[in-house]
Each structure stands twice: as C-alpha cells, then as structure tokens.
C-alpha cells in the first residue's frame, strides 16, 4: 500500500496524542518517532551491532487482550523489548506492568526529545 492509498483510506492526519502515521518501505508506523527508531535499528543491523529485530511482537494478556511491543531486538547479548512512546497513557502503564509480571521481560521505553531518540 502506498502512502497515497493509505491517506485515501482515512489513515492520514494526527491522532489525539499528536502522532502522525508514517510509511517507510511499505511499512506503516504509528508515529514518526517509531519510524525513526526502525530506521536506527535497520542501520544497527546493517552495521552488525544487532543480529535482527522484529516489529509489533504480541504478548497475550488475561481477558483476550494482546499487547504489542514495538520492537524485539536480538543481539549477541540477548533480547531487548523496545516501545516508542511520545506519551504514556494510563492504559499503557497498566499493560506494561502486566506484561512484565506475566513474562520474563522488561520493556524499555524510547522517546524523541529535541529530534534525538532517548532511552536506548
């Protein structure tokens, strides 16, 4: 799907949190920051700093709820779970705590401040 087709489907514009959906190489990201994090991870993979990464990794929670972490990053040293957040909603905070309580993982938050990705 091209960016133009995506816009025609009503996917363009800002959400209530101010993020703008962004397309990179046919993949649509929830925000420009998430797309920037993807770009950075692609560069790290090309440089051999990480082995690979996965997008939108699901964690199944009670009640049929699925929480999707933005990225699972696999390196020689292990796996890191990264979530890009411009704003932490109360719902996100609860789901993050649930995932970390139910699974042996720690979700790391990444944000963009003054044009730079922080939290890595």
Helix (H) or strand (E) holding 29: strand 27-29
Inform me whether the pLDDT recorded for 16 exceeds 60: no
Tell me if 21 is assigned to some domain: no
Report whether 81 contacts 106 (CB < 8 A): yes
pTM: 0.77
Tell me, yes or no, whether 103 lies in a domain.
Answer: yes
Tens of pLDDT along 24-50? 778 888 788 888 899 999 999 999 999
Whether 20 is covered by a domain: the verdict is no
The verdict on residue 74 lying in a domain is: yes
Q: Is the pLDDT of residue 15 over 60?
A: no
Q: What is the CATH number of the domain that holds 40?
A: 3.40.1350.10
Instruction: Return the pLDDT at 32.
Output: 85
Within a domain: residue 1? no
Give domain status of residue 45, yes or no.
yes
- The boundaries of the domain holding residue 94 are 32-118
Q: Tell whether 7 is covered by a domain.
A: no
16 in any annotated domain: no
Percent of the chain with pLDDT over 70: 80
Gap between the Cα atoms of 21 and 89, Å rounded: 18
What's the first-to-final CA gap in the chain, in angstroms? 31
What's the structural domain count of the chain? Answer: 1
Q: Which residues of 80-118 are buried (b: 16+ CB within 10 A; e: fewer)?
A: bbbbbbeeeeeeeeebbeebeeeeeeebeebbbeeeebe
pLDDT at position 27 is 82
């Amino acid at each position: 799907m091209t960016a133009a087709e995506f816009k025609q489907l009503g996917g363009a514009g800002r959400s209530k949190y101010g993020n703008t959906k962004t397309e990179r190489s046919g993949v649509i990201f929830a925000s420009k920051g998430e797309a920037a994090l993807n770009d950075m991870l692609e560069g790290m993979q090309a440089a051999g700093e990480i082995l690979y990464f996965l997008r939108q990794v699901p964690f199944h929670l009670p009640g049929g709820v699925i929480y999707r972490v933005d990225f699972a990053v696999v390196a020689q040293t292990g796996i890191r779970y990264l979530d890009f957040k411009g704003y932490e909603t109360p719902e996100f905070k609860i789901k993050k705590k649930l995932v970390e309580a139910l699974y042996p993982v720690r979700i790391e938050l990444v944000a963009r401040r003054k044009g730079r990705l922080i939290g890595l």
